[in-house]
C-alpha cells in the first residue's frame, strides 16, 4: 500500500510540511529533502533550523505524530526574527552574527534605556536555542545611524576581532546625506579628534592633539540642497564622519550636534553603514555584507 503524501509548502525562507503518519524526525527530513546529502540534512537539524509546531527541535530520533507541522528554515537567521524590532539578521554562524540596524535603535544599553537595544534583543534571540548562548558587541553604531553591525558569539571571537580590527576589516563604507551641494567630487579629510566634557567631538589640526582620524569621501549624486556621499573610514573614531562632514562645511542631514542648521528633511540622521568587508575570525574567508541605502537618501539627493 503506498504511503500517504505529506502536505508540502515552500517559500523563500522555509519548507513547511504537515506530518501525515508517525515517523522519526531525521528519517522524515531525508524524505522531505531527497536532493540533499545525508550530512547536509543532519547539519540543518543540528544547527537548529528545524521547528516542530514553532519549537526548535534538534533530536534526530524525535517521534513525529500525525498532525504536527515541521518547518525547515533555509536560513538559520530566519528563526524567530519576527520578534526582533528595529533590526534584521543578515548572516549568522557559530562565531559571528551580522545585522542591519534601523535608525533609532540603540546598539547597547544606556542609563535611560536597558532593554530596547540591539544587544539585548540578540541576547534573547540566541538564548532561545540554548540558555547558555551569549552575544558580544564588537563595534557600535550611533543610535540614529542605520546599517551593518557585527557581533561575536564568544568572548574569544570578540577579542580576536577587536585586537585585529585593522587587518581583518578590509572595507567599511557608509553613505551620508549631507546639506548643500558638495562641489569637490572626492576628497580626503584628516584631523586629530578630541572630546569635550559634554561628550562632543571636535577636530584639531595640531599633530597628535587627540586621536588621528582619516576619512575618504566620493560624491554620488546631489542637487542644490543635498548631496549623497560614499564615505570610507580608514580609522574608526567616535562620531568621525559627523565631525568630518561638519569640517567639510556640509553637515550630515539632521545632525544638530555637529553643525546642521536646516530643517530635517528625512526625519532621521542622514548616515548609514552600507558595507562591511572582513576576514572571518575562524575560517579567514573574506566576507562582504551590505545593507541597502535608505530610499529617502536617494530621493532627496536626486
Q: List the catalytic residues.
A: 142
Using alpha carbons, select from 153, 98, 82 the residue that is nearest to residue 290.
98
C-alpha cell at 292: 541597502
25-32 and 38-46 helices, crossing angle to 10°: 120
Q: Give the SS3 label for residue 8.
A: strand
In the chain, DSSP assigns E strands to 7-10, 14-18, 23-24, 50-52, 55-56, 63-64, 69-73, 87-92, 96-101, 136-137, 146-152, 169-179, 186-195, 201-204, 211-222, 226-233, 271-279, 286-290
Euclidean distance between CA atoms 149 and 169, whole angstroms: 13
Angstrom distance (rounded) from CA 144 to CA 253: 11
Cα–Cα distance, 205 to 258 (Å, whole number)? 17
- Taking CA atoms, 93 is separated from 90, 110, 278, in Å, by 11, 28, 15
Amino acid at each position: 500500500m503506498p504511503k500517504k503524501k505529506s502536505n508540502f509548502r515552500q517559500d523563500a525562507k522555509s519548507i513547511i510540511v504537515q506530518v501525515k503518519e508517525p515517523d522519526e524526525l531525521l528519517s522524515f527530513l531525508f524524505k522531505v529533502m531527497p536532493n540533499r546529502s545525508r550530512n547536509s540534512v543532519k547539519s540543518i537539524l543540528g544547527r537548529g533550523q528545524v521547528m516542530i509546531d514553532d519549537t526548535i527541535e534538534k533530536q534526530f530520533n524525535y517521534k513525529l505524530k500525525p498532525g504536527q507541522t515541521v518547518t525547515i528554515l533555509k536560513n538559520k537567521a530566519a528563526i524567530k526574527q519576527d520578534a526582533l524590532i528595529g533590526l534584521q539578521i543578515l548572516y549568522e554562524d557559530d562565531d559571528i552574527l551580522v545585522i542591519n540596524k534601523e535608525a533609532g535603535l540603540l546598539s547597547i544599553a544606556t542609563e535611560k534605556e536597558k532593554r530596547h537595544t540591539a544587544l539585548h534583543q540578540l541576547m534573547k534571540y540566541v538564548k532561545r536555542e540554548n540558555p547558555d548562548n551569549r552575544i558580544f558587541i564588537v563595534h557600535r553604531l550611533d543610535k540614529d545611524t542605520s546599517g551593518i553591525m557585527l557581533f561575536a558569539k564568544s568572548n574569544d571571537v570578540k577579542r580576536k576581532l577587536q585586537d585585529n580590527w585593522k587587518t581583518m576589516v578590509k572595507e567599511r563604507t557608509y553613505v551620508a546625506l549631507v546639506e548643500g551641494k558638495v562641489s569637490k567630487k572626492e576628497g580626503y579629510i584628516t584631523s586629530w579628534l578630541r572630546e569635550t566634557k559634554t561628550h562632543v567631538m571636535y577636530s584639531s589640526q595640531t599633530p597628535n592633539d587627540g586621536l588621528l582620524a582619516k576619512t575618504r569621501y566620493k560624491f554620488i549624486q546631489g542637487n542644490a540642497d543635498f548631496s549623497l556621499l560614499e564615505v570610507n573610514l580608514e580609522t574608526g573614531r567616535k562620531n568621525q564622519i559627523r565631525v568630518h562632514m561638519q569640517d567639510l562645511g556640509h553637515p550630515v542631514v539632521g545632525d544638530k550636534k555637529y553643525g546642521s542648521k536646516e530643517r530635517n528633511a528625512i526625519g532621521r540622521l542622514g548616515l548609514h553603514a552600507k558595507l562591511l568587508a572582513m576576514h572571518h575570525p575562524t575560517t579567514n574567508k573574506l566576507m562582504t555584507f551590505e545593507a541597502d541605502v535608505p530610499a529617502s537618501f536617494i530621493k532627496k539627493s536626486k
